[in-house]
Chains A and B, each alone.
Chain A
Amino acid sequence: MFWEVELIIYIFIVLSALLALKVHDLLVAVVMMTVYSFSIALLFVAMGAIDVGYTEAVIGAGITGILFILVIYKTTRHTKD
């Protein structure tokens, strides 16, 4: 596809991954992880692998986010470091 679209998606991936590593609030980190997964899914679709992108969007942005949010509610929301 157009290389400009893929460049914007790459920038989104790198920014969301760095933000998910650096942030102290774990809920924000989970949301950044879902943004990362969805950007990866968009990149797969832009590369032409629609089924892989579909799976990544459903699993990475849906189920994994729900399970991480469950674990955050069970334990604690803020990290110490």
Chain B
Amino acid sequence: MRDRIDSPIVLLGCRLLSPYIMLFGFYVVIHGHYSPGGGFQGGALLGASFLLMRVAGGDEIGRLQLKEHLAKPLAILGVAIYFGTGLLSILLGGNFLDYSFLPIPGMDTEWLRYTGILIIEVGIGLAVMATFIMIYDNMARGEEEDD
């Protein structure tokens, strides 16, 4: 970012807009059973809210929301939630990603599948959000090293 001009108006606008995009992203992830959307779209909205602050505020202000080294563990955690859900149902005697074998007491098969879809959508959302932040950070930092 060589010829970037720090504009307080743009920064204020993005600071106002970013939490609402983030809230809408959480809504899309959680409410994916009843409305269009799901893990991928909600994760992309969450990633867009972080990337908006990084574009508007530069490195120092953008890193305040989510540190750069936190992106990679979050992506691994998202993939691990999805894969762990599938592996748990294998270990308890079912097929891969068969949610009706999840060890949650007091639920019949339909609500277990409902809960399983919710769990893997949270995993997808985390992985997609952290991956977009990781791509942006690596592109921004890698080009600076070349100067």
Contacts and interface: CB of A to CB of B under 8 A. Distances in A.
Chain A interface size, under 10 / 10 to 19 / 20 to 34 / 35 or more:
10 to 19
A73 B1 contact: yes
A56 to B, nearest CB: 10
B36 A70 contact: no
B44 A62 contact: yes
Interface string B17-51: 00000000000000000001110110011011001
A38 to B, nearest CB: 14
A19 interface: no
A70 B44 contact: no
A55 B4 CA distance: 30
Interface in A34-57: 50-51, 54-55
A58 interface: yes
B143 interface: yes
A54 B47 contact: no
A69 interface: yes
A79 B110 CA distance: 57
Contact of A66 (B2, B40, B52, B143): B52
B44 A67 contact: no
Contact of A54 (B37, B136, B139): B37
B82 interface: no
A74 B146 CA distance: 10
Contacts of A69: 55
B48 A62 contact: yes
Contact of B48 (A51, A55, A58, A70): A58
Interface string A57-81: 0110011001101110110000000
Contacts of B44: 55, 58-59, 62-63
Nearest to A74: B143
Contacts of A67: 135-136, 139
A71 B139 contact: yes
A58 B45 contact: yes
17 contacts: A51-B41, A54-B36, A54-B41, A55-B40, A62-B44, A63-B47, A63-B132, A66-B52, A66-B136, A67-B135, A70-B55, A70-B139, A70-B140, A71-B139, A73-B1, A73-B3, A74-B139
